[in-house]
Amino acid sequence: MNKYLSLIGVAVAVALAGCASAPPRTDTLERARAEVQVLAADPLTQQAAPKDLEQARGRLQQAETALQQKQPAETIDHLAYLAERHAQAGEARVQEARARQEIARADEQRNRALLEARAREAQATKMQLAAAQAQLAELKAKQTDRGLVVTLGDVLFDTARATLKPGADLTLDRLADYMKESPQSHVLIEGHTDNRGSDAYNDELSERRADAVAAALMRRGVPADSIKAVGRGKDYPVASNDTPAGRQQNRRVEIVFSNGAGGPQGAADAASLR
């Protein structure tokens, strides 16, 4: 019996000795180790928070040393707490740096998208301009001292009438397409006649023909405020009225283009340049 009790006493003594030799475990130190490990593992730490990591590691090492030296638990916890706080401060800096990077990437993507959109718009505008210029070329537009001029012959109207013939549709479609693709364009529509008939008759006929062209363009979607129609009568012939061929050239409607900015090519000044 005494021998049995002696064996139990030896076992208890060994267990107590083992417990005394094992380093004490503290929750604060465990948290500090975890926080420092997280901070050290983040690839952005060396750029954003190297000093915080250095200080956190230093305090953690002090806490580990104090643990090994079996210093008071208060000392170990205090050093571990400081290590944890340095690690948390570093993580906050890393998060701020990551947020700034994300903002910078978002700004870069937005700017790239804007540049791409502007490039597409510029390309579209270039293509529209080319198409518009091709349309004017098909209409045989001529550059004059008053601006670009498209002449519509009197074959678009019946004799002595201001009603457009169906054959005028293609020409008017092209004119309307050009003006809609070039919204800055303004036109002065001038009606002209030969010298047969009275002044009053020719003035009235030329005005009605100019109005007919203007109305046809507006029906095709051209804004009314970009069109001005006037009748010039027989006052501005381009050929002799002594021959049928000359009189036919004088019976015409002219479309004078301007950029809408007034000036020498503007609709308001076109009459003064004739």
What is the spatial distance between Cα 112 and Cα 103, in angstroms, rounded to a whole number?
14
Cβ–Cβ under 8 Å, residues 141 and 151: no
**Residue 92 Cα distances to 76, 80, 99, angstroms:** 24, 18, 11
Q: Which two tokens stand for residue 186?
A: 């303004």
Task: Please give the pLDDT value at position 62.
Answer: 97
Residue 21 has pLDDT above 70, yes or no: no
Q: 124 pLDDT band (50/70/90 cuts)?
A: confident
Listed residue (192, 241, 244) closest to 213, CA to CA: 192
**Residue 176 Cα distances to 148, 159, 206, 261, 271, angstroms:** 15, 25, 21, 20, 23
Q: 8 pLDDT band (50/70/90 cuts)?
A: very low
Q: What is the pLDDT of residues 72-83, one digit of tens each?
A: 999 999 999 999
Q: How many CA atoms lie within 13 A of 135 on its CB side?
A: 19
φ/ψ of residue 5, rounded to 5: -65, -35
Task: Please give the pLDDT value at position 183.
Answer: 72
Cβ–Cβ under 8 Å, residues 162 and 231: no
What is the spatial distance between Cα 36 and Cα 149, in angstroms, rounded to a whole number?
80
